[in-house]
Amino acid sequence: MNRRLALIAIVAFLPCRPGLADPIHAVADGGYWHHDSGWVFPEKIGEFVRVGIPQDVAGSEDAVTHYARDEDGVRRTASVDVYRAASPAAGELEARSGSASSDTVIVSTARGLSARREVSDAGKPLLIATYFVDAGEWRVRIRVTGASLEAMDEFVRGQRWETLGNH
């Protein structure tokens, strides 16, 4: 009888399917580290504060987080998507609108990275800027709302570019 109970106890605690590792981990400075890409999502960038915990996207290697700030009593938002160039979501994330103006912005002189920036005028004084950064195997898309392109560029440059691809 004891052998039978022991066998039942062993079987009851066997995993039914292999567990998946959590791809995003808290780090000491309030940021979160995405272990697939090495990217760190800081707690704060300029006046923007991270809203919630970064998430993996549908169990893929992609990750996203959101930031917000108050600007003259208006909430401004930003989203940061980190994904592999070969991600199934890359086409959707990189879809560009034909009506927006676009140019190139240097985002990291140390890494030699620049972004293609598309700007839409959503109605004065709201601008929407989407930045597309190609860092080889990894890509980053940042979408920011605000009244000033300079402040939006500052948010993008304030990202932890040195961490991308370092895992």
Q: What is the CATH number of the domain that holds 107?
A: 3.40.1000
Q: What percent of the chain has pLDDT over 90?
A: 63
Phi, psi (rounded to 5 degrees) for 29: -90, 15
Block residue for tokens 């195997």 = 137
Note the pLDDT of residue 121.
Answer: 74
pLDDT digits (tens, 9 = 90+) for 30-48: 999 999 999 999 999 999 9
Note the pLDDT of residue 2.
Answer: 62
Q: Does 121 fall in a domain? A: yes
Distance, in Å, from the CA atom of 108 to the CA atom of 48, rounded to the nearest integer, reads 19
Dihedral angle sign, alpha carbons of residues 118, 121, 124, 126: negative
Q: Does 10 fall in a domain? A: no
Q: Does 150 fall in a domain? A: yes
pLDDT digits (tens, 9 = 90+) for 94-144: 887 555 688 999 999 999 999 999 998 766 678 999 999 999 999 999 999
Q: Does 4 fall in a domain? A: no
Least confident of 11-15, 26-30, 31-35: 11-15
Question: How many structural domains is the chain composed of?
Answer: 1
Least confident of 9-23, 24-38, 52-66: 9-23
pLDDT tier at 67, thresholds 50, 70, 90: very high
Range of the domain at 78: 19-163
Q: For residue 156, what is the DSSP state?
A: H
- Tokens matching residue 23: 């791809």
pLDDT tier at 11, thresholds 50, 70, 90: very low
Q: Does 12 fall in a domain? A: no
pTM: 0.83
Distance, in Å, from the CA atom of 112 to the CA atom of 133, rounded to the nearest integer, reads 11
Q: Does 5 fall in a domain? A: no
Distance, in Å, from the CA atom of 145 to the CA atom of 122, rounded to the nearest integer, reads 9
Q: Which residue, 17, 40, 14, is CA-closest to 29?
A: 40
Q: What percent of the chain has pLDDT over 70?
A: 83
Q: Does 126 fall in a domain? A: yes
